[in-house]
Amino acid sequence: MKITEVLEAEHRVMLIVFDEIERVLPSLEVIREATTLARIVEGMLEGHGQAETDLAYLALDQVLEEKGQLDRLHEEHQEIDANLRRVFSAGSCAEAKRLLATAIASARLHFQFEEQAVFPLLDRALQEDTLTQLAAEMKHRMPPAPNSSH
């Protein structure tokens, strides 16, 4: 498996979580509910973004023909993070829900940009063994799955 496939698989999982959050968002009644969901999104995106930065984008930085794309990636990460942080200081539940929805929408667009522009560039620029080695490295960085004793 290549690093781009691993990152796309993570996108798919996060999109499912986003769908569920968007489904319940209208029913939230207190800020604490929105901030709890924002912390979940923040945690997922933080680990994913760090892996992208450490593994894929460091490699991409070496081969990127147009520096603007890498700058865009970093700017989008910062924008999503800023929207999530604003949820925690929202003055009302309505504002917190709006900010959380904005962060999720930004993340969706960011994933789409990565999958349409960045990941294909990585696949073209790096050799197959490098892509699979990066995926293996990412696997080693993931926390072990909890033991289930159901």
On the question of pLDDT at 149 being above 70, the answer is: no
Q: Is residue 83 part of a domain?
A: yes
pTM of the model: 0.85
DSSP state of 127: -
- Band of residue 49 on the pLDDT scale cut at 50, 70, 90: confident
Q: Is residue 131 part of a domain?
A: yes
- Band of residue 110 on the pLDDT scale cut at 50, 70, 90: very high
What residue numbers bound the domain in which 44 lies?
Answer: 3-140
Q: Is residue 146 part of a domain?
A: no
Q: Is residue 149 part of a domain?
A: no
- The answer to whether the beta carbons of residues 56 and 131 sit under 8 Å apart is no
Report the C-alpha gap between 12 and 123 in whole angstroms. Answer: 19
Neighbours of 58 (CB within 10 A): 11
Q: Which one is predicted more confidently, 67 or 54?
A: 54
Q: Is residue 145 part of a domain?
A: no
Number of domains in the chain: 1
Give the pLDDT of residue 60.
Answer: 67
Q: Which one is predicted more confidently, 58 or 14?
A: 14
Q: Is residue 32 part of a domain?
A: yes
Q: Is residue 8 part of a domain?
A: yes
